[in-house]
Structure 1
């Protein structure tokens, strides 16, 4: 890949990392950029997944205080995320590229819609939260498995899905948000291993985009309280819809 393209990828990865910290949806920026730089859709997807992996570890570190007393639950949910992420990653690599080309515009549109409704979902979950402990419902584990299959296959707006599933199951939005980061990290680590060993990864892009994404996430966390997330979220949704429409024309 030309040096100028690598500079562009690093710059967009920096922006994507910041967007993830402020409003979520950074994948909807980096993925189409990689496609625009000439990568195939599957190669862009796996490269995007690996490049954004460091940012998830930062999220886990930031929520470490919320994990106290949650070891058993984390192990149970983590095992489900491990299985789901593996299934989704293998599904991506074993199905024809043409199938992914057909479904990816729908997935981008879905991710955009989830980013759009995220504030409504969060407000509803906060209104329904309970402070008393309650057993984990069985349906939550099934929904978590399906969500992480999606995360391993594509992953755009996975965090929104996980907050929704965990929030509805646990009725504790702060805990759901913390667990979301841990389970996103598990899913991302699975994709790192599977895609790194067997996927068409553009490693030159990863080399510049991964540290840029990590730096962007750190900078985004520092400025998240100073800028309104609403207008940024609207911009991401509009951009995601435009990308989806463009990808539909390529089918």
Structure 2
């Protein structure tokens, strides 16, 4: 990549980090940008996953208070996330890149649609919220494994999926949101390890995009209360659908 390409990647990563803090869906911006800059779809995907990893750690730090008394649950769910993230990452690296080229337009479209219905999911979960206290249902672990496997394979809108799964299982939206950040961070950490050792990561992009994403996440958190998330979400969804259509025609 040229210095100009790296500058563009850093600028978009900064924007993606901010978008993740405000509305979610930053991957739907950075991933197609990396493809447009000349990276193959698999290379762009693994590079995107590694570059956005620091932003997840900031989200965990922001929910410190919510994790009190949840250590045992975090360990159980975290182990499932490790297994799911590993399965998805290995699946990505061991299947032909042509297969990912066929699947990725569907995944981008799915992620865009999930982001579009996020407010509806959140609203329904909030109405169903209670104090919890019951044991975690068995289906939660199965659904969590599948969700984090998806996260290891692609990851767009993983947070929306996790909030939906955890909210339905625990009936505590605030806790589900906090656990979502922790489990997203676990899944992202797994992808960093697997892709870092075995994936075709473009480390030049990571060197500029990772700190930019971290800074964008920090700035986005600071201004999240001042920017209405709905118009931003609409723009991201429209952009994501357009990218999916482009990838469909390109495949």
1:132 to partner: Cα distance: 3.8
Q: Is the CA contact 2:132–2:171 (under 8 Å) kept in the aligned structure 1?
A: no
Unmatched runs of 5 consecutive residues or more in structure 1: none
- For 2:86 and 2:129, the matched residues in 1 are separated by 31
Deviation per residue, 1:150-200 (Å, 9 max, x gap) = 000000000000000000000000000000000000000000000000000
TM-score normalised to structure 2 length: 1.00
- For 1:250 and 1:140, the matched residues in 2 are separated by 37
Residue 230 in structure 1 maps to residue 230 in structure 2: yes
Unmatched runs of 5 consecutive residues or more in structure 2: none
Deviation per residue, 1:60-111 (Å, 9 max, x gap) = 0000110000000000000000000000000000000000000000000000
- For 1:233 and 1:56, the matched residues in 2 are separated by 19
Residue 136 in structure 1 maps to residue 133 in structure 2: no
1:48 matched residue in structure 2? 48
1:13 matched residue in structure 2? 13
Residues 214-229 of structure 1 mapped to structure 2, 5 A cutoff: 214-229=214-229
1:5 to partner: Cα distance: 0.1
1:223 to partner: Cα distance: 0.5
Count of aligned pairs between the two proteins: 251
- For 2:250 and 2:195, the matched residues in 1 are separated by 24
Moved over 4 A (4+): none
1:203 matched residue in structure 2? 203
CA RMSD of aligned residues (A): 0.4
Residues 1-251 of structure 1 mapped to structure 2, 5 A cutoff: 1-251=1-251
